[in-house]
Amino acid sequence: MKKELDIKKSDENSSEKNVDSSFDKVLYQSSIKEISVKVGANLDKGLTTDEAKIRLESNGANKLDDVKKRHIILKFIDQLKDFMIIILFIAAIISIATEDYAEGILIIAIVVLNAVLGVLQEAKAEKALESIQALSSPQIIVIRDGKEQRVDVKELVIGDLVLLEAGDYVPADLRIIESVNLKIDESALTGEAVPVEKIHEPIKKDNVPLGDRTNLAFMSTVVTYGRGTAVVVKTGMDTEIGKIAKLLAETETEATPLQKSINQLGKTLAIIALIITGIIFAIEIVESLIINGKVTPDSILESFTFAVALAVAAIPEGLPAIITVVLSLGMTNLVKQNAIMRTLPSVETLGSTSIICSDKTGTLTQNVMTIQKLYVDGKMVNADESLKLDTNTTKVIEYGVLVNDVKVRLEDKTIVKFGDPTEIALIDLGIKYNIDPIKTNSKFKRIYELPFDSTRKLMTTVNVIDGKTYAIVKGAPDVVFGRSTSFVENTNIQKFDKKAHENFMTANNNMADNALRVLAIGYKELKNNDDYSKYSFEDIESDLTLLGLVGMIDPERPEVAEAVKVCKQAGITTVMITGDHKNTAVAIAKKIGILGNNDLAITGHELDQMNDEEFLKKLEQIRVYARVSPENKVRIVRAWRSLDKIVAMTGDGVNDAPSIKQADIGIAMGITGTEVAKGAADMILTDDNFATIVNAVGEGRGIFANIKKAIHFLLSCNIGEIVSMFLGVVLGYFLFTTIDGDHATKALHILTPVQILWVNLVTDSLMAIALGLEHREPDIMLSAPRDPNKSIFADGLGKKIAFQGLMIGLLTFAAFIIGWYWGGMPDNYTEASRDASTMAFMVLALSQLFHAFNARSERHSNFKLKVNKKLFYAFLASFSLQMIVVLTPATRKLFEVSFPTLGQWGVILALSIAPLVIVETIKLISHKIQKN
């Protein structure tokens, strides 16, 4: 096998120069048997698991090469590219050049440490995203060890037997060995808009263009119709799509909309910070001229370094990285809630969802179909032990087993079924009444079929029964009724007249009113030994003889009613969109609370009769759409979006992909969903459960709220730093003197540049990320969806940030004043400045740590929120780092601080806790006012 693969790779290399390589010719010109020998395939049982494992290890995973990651050193350099950081480096170098070694080295050390934290945050976000991508990896059905198995596409190897069905992505380059009306959309590769009908016979021509190699299927194309079996002939970068991938340049990862707006915010804040620090720098120069009558190079350097440090502290450089981490960790958390988000922007959008358009079957219901009633011989009968198996009843059950694509096999004397739940219900009915599905299909051999599609709403198989050939048809009752010319009653074939039609319609409606899904089963005798592939759909599926109806129920999920109730409380409208009969849909919708007394339920046909103006007038009243087409679904989504609503749309089939793509949040079913639906979706439900969608919306709201909390915390802290520094520079000369009346001989810095940078380092990253991991607030699903057009500072957040920043700044400045005059008027300017700076330094850092608890909620008291252990751990870590500075003699000297007295520690603690006390008091007063 390895030798054959090496030959193939050699041929592939030559094909880069020659459009039609020798191996490519082999693929489409050879017979199926020759191909199987070439690639080492077993066309009966497939590869063994051990052989597949050996080939996978030998030739690598079936995937395109990943985009090359930036080296960690380059990522580190990226963190240092910021203009303000570069200026700070220059200032540090100048400090070292002027023999102020300690300060210069410490500035560089803090900046480097901050960059390391940035790289670690980025790495954490990347790891979370990679784990999500691995979870959403597409799967395909293969035959290995003689059994059908579902495997990840990347585990496919050359020689694997692959089963293709409508809705699958073609997982590798394949040679078709069996085709049943198989059509594949190859527009992604060839640009051909019309799906290509596939064959299994060899093509004997030379130099056949890619689009005309109809016995091959190519990686990343889409099966749109029918089914087939194929053998893998090329994988990964050796595929046709892999050749194209080699030509593509490395792509940049695009920032999410929120990240873009935050980046823009950062630029705006940078401009404001530069203006403020520029003003502070100018004031210092003017003060130096007034006080000393001149400006020295040392004073310019000191003022410049201080201004740059303040600017760096004022700009939340780490905010975009923190947001990425919060979003990524939020995605990871959603996986635990059975929801896989495929992109970061979808996490942002999720929390704003205002409309959920949900499919019924499997999402609102359990997707476990059980046949409860049959309508045969003009009588409604229960499918229980009382059912008598007369001729027609047996035929209905038997034909239901035959016109069926469920894969059935015997394992340890147990019948194992794999397929659509509706069809499984028909198999289960047969088993219940001792009609063995394996023996029945073997006895009455299928020789042709017309697969189900959403346009015809029918499925047909052609079977040989007792020497005669019959087309057996199952599908939507209204469609089968329209194609029937006769019906069977008491073994007699009678004309399907108006009265018979009314009787069957009444039976259909009675079942649907009881929330039963109804299928009609009929048949038609065909000529023996004919070429049925030449027949049109109309030829086979017309002039039917109607046998009977089967009514099955898919009970609602027990948790769905509560989830719908939560949606209403959260201002989210739930809409049911289903292909089922209107009566069935209405019965379920009423039971779970989607359809109220004043709400409407319409069919796809009724929707088609409305123009856009009429539809928009009724849109907000319509809660149930039944018997819809793919075009109807797209129209519904577009209508809601035209009202500026954020729409989530669920689906599982190929026909759902357009509406899933059209929605703001496309949601695919992880269990029953086709790979096409999953590929179009933003979110994949691993449990196919509506309640999971509602829970995910709550998580999405929580994630966005946590990002706001991080922004709230960081910006208010940065404003506090600017306010305190500004007050020191502007008022310092007038407020702070000694016993002898000495004033500062230069502008007063209540903190040194190193202290400013240290506070920023200690308080920013850990606390902000911990806030991003807050638990959801208890009432987060009791408010209307967030308006995505609103500023992040809307609803009073901007005012809160400004007020709380001013509060932190004033408390820090107050700490400096108290420290200056501690024990009375100081007699030594340098010592007083150091003691005061120590108190200001400690209060600024610790007050920000306590203030983080204020940012946990804008409305709720800390004492009523669920404990966030991560925030406490971050607080302890940051608090410990800050305390080390004043407790260790070496760091005290480095940071130019003194060891506070016991009384000063009391003042520091009181002022540091003050932000928490003040904000908690405001919340309490606001709560009482609102309550009254």
pLDDT value at position 377?
93
Q: Are residues 769 and 915 in the same domain?
A: yes
| Tokens found for residue 801 | 């940030």
Q: Is residue 909 included in any domain, yes or no?
A: yes
User: Over 80: is that where the pLDDT of 419 sits?
Assistant: no
Which CATH number covers residue 784? 1.20.1110.10
pLDDT value at position 325?
76
**Cα–Cα dist 131/151, whole Å:** 18
Q: Are residues 345 and 379 in the same domain?
A: no
DSSP secondary structure letters along 289-339: HHHHSS--HHHHHHHHHHHHHHHHHHS-TTHHHHHHHHHHHHHHHHHHTTE
Q: Is residue 450 included in any domain, yes or no?
A: yes
Domain count within the chain: 4
Q: Are residues 596 and 719 in the same domain?
A: no
Calculate mean pLDDT across residues 329-355.
83
**Cα–Cα dist 669/684, whole Å:** 6
Going from the C-alpha of 565 to that of each of 263, 366, 561, 574, the distances in angstroms are 38, 18, 6, 10
Burial class (CB within 10 angstroms; exposed 0-12, middle 13-18, buried 19+) of 719:
buried
User: Over 80: is that where the pLDDT of 247 sits?
Assistant: no
Q: Is residue 425 included in any domain, yes or no?
A: yes
pLDDT value at position 15?
38
| 213: amino acid identity, one letter | R
User: Over 50: is that where the pLDDT of 158 sits?
Assistant: yes
Q: Do 619 and 643 form a contact (C-beta atoms < 8 A)?
A: yes
Calculate mean pLDDT across residues 133-158.
84
How many helices and strands (H and E) does the chain possess? Answer: 33, 26
For the ranges 207-216, 319-328, 717-726, 741-750, the lowest mean pLDDT is seen at 741-750
Q: Are residues 680 and 565 in the same domain?
A: yes
Q: Are residues 158 and 209 in the same domain?
A: yes
The rounded radius of gyration (Å) of the Cα atoms in the chain is: 36
Q: Are residues 435 and 472 in the same domain?
A: yes
**Cα–Cα dist 610/590, whole Å:** 24
User: Over 80: is that where the pLDDT of 457 sits?
Assistant: yes
Q: Do 473 and 524 form a contact (C-beta atoms < 8 A)?
A: yes
For residues 353 and 83, which has the higher predicted lDDT (pLDDT)?
353
Burial class (CB within 10 angstroms; exposed 0-12, middle 13-18, buried 19+) of 371:
buried
Q: How confident is the model at residue 183 (pLDDT cuts 50, 70, 90)?
A: confident
For residues 613 and 315, which has the higher predicted lDDT (pLDDT)?
613
User: Over 50: is that where the pLDDT of 14 sits?
Assistant: no
In this structure, what DSSP letter does residue 468 have?
E
List, for residues 548-607, the tens digit of each pLDDT value.
999 998 888 899 999 999 999 999 999 999 887 888 889 899 999 999 999 999 999 999
**Cα–Cα dist 206/579, whole Å:** 47
Q: How confident is the model at residue 619 (pLDDT cuts 50, 70, 90)?
A: very high
603 membership: H or E segment, kind and range? strand 600-603
User: Over 80: is that where the pLDDT of 918 sits?
Assistant: yes
Range from 173-187, 444-458, 792-806, 840-854 that averages highest in pLDDT: 840-854
pLDDT value at position 222?
83
Instruction: Please list the helix, strand and coil fractions of the chain in percent, rounded to the nearest 5, in that order.
Output: 55, 15, 30
**Residue 136 CB partners (closer than 8 Å, separation 6+):** 340, 342, 678, 684
Of 553, 579, 614, the domain-final residue: 553
User: Over 90: is that where the pLDDT of 72 sits?
Assistant: no
pLDDT value at position 21?
63
Q: Do 422 and 552 form a contact (C-beta atoms < 8 A)?
A: yes
Mean per-residue pLDDT of the chain: 84
Q: Is residue 323 included in any domain, yes or no?
A: yes
Q: Are residues 167 and 294 in the same domain?
A: no
Q: Is residue 216 included in any domain, yes or no?
A: yes
Q: How confident is the model at residue 4 (pLDDT cuts 50, 70, 90)?
A: very low
List, for residues 86-143, the tens digit of each pLDDT value.
655 766 676 576 555 655 676 677 667 767 766 765 666 566 555 555 555 688 899 9
Positions marked catalytic: 359
pLDDT value at position 731?
82
pLDDT value at position 417?
82
List, for residues 869-913, the tens digit of each pLDDT value.
999 999 999 999 999 999 999 999 888 899 999 999 999 999 999
Q: Which domain holds residue 793?
A: 258-332+697-931
**Cα–Cα dist 228/345, whole Å:** 37
| Tokens found for residue 777 | 């607030």
pLDDT value at position 486?
96
**Cα–Cα dist 36/160, whole Å:** 10
For the ranges 105-114, 729-738, 829-838, the lowest mean pLDDT is seen at 105-114
Of 665, 688, 711, the domain-final residue: 688
Q: Are residues 710 and 730 in the same domain?
A: yes
**Cα–Cα dist 797/801, whole Å:** 6
User: Over 90: is that where the pLDDT of 430 sits?
Assistant: yes
Q: Are residues 243 and 277 in the same domain?
A: no
Of 227, 247, 267, the domain-final residue: 247
**Residue 699 CB partners (closer than 8 Å, separation 6+):** 330, 333, 334, 337, 339, 350, 776
Q: Are residues 530 and 627 in the same domain?
A: no
For the ranges 340-354, 704-718, 849-863, the lowest mean pLDDT is seen at 340-354
User: Over 50: is that where the pLDDT of 768 sits?
Assistant: yes
User: Over 70: is that where the pLDDT of 253 sits?
Assistant: no
Main-chain phi, psi angles of 672, to 5 degrees: -100, -10
DSSP secondary structure letters along 482-511: HHEEEEEETTEEEE--HHHHHHHHHHHHHH
pLDDT value at position 125?
53
For residues 529 and 676, which has the higher predicted lDDT (pLDDT)?
529
Q: Is residue 119 included in any domain, yes or no?
A: no
Which CATH number covers residue 212? 2.70.150.10
574 membership: H or E segment, kind and range? strand 573-577
**Cα–Cα dist 544/929, whole Å:** 73
**Residue 539 CB partners (closer than 8 Å, separation 6+):** none
User: Over 60: is that where the pLDDT of 323 sits?
Assistant: yes
Q: Are residues 880 and 815 in the same domain?
A: yes
Q: Are residues 777 and 856 in the same domain?
A: yes
Percent of the chain's residues with pLDDT above 90: 41
Q: How confident is the model at residue 546 (pLDDT cuts 50, 70, 90)?
A: very high
**Cα–Cα dist 547/396, whole Å:** 6
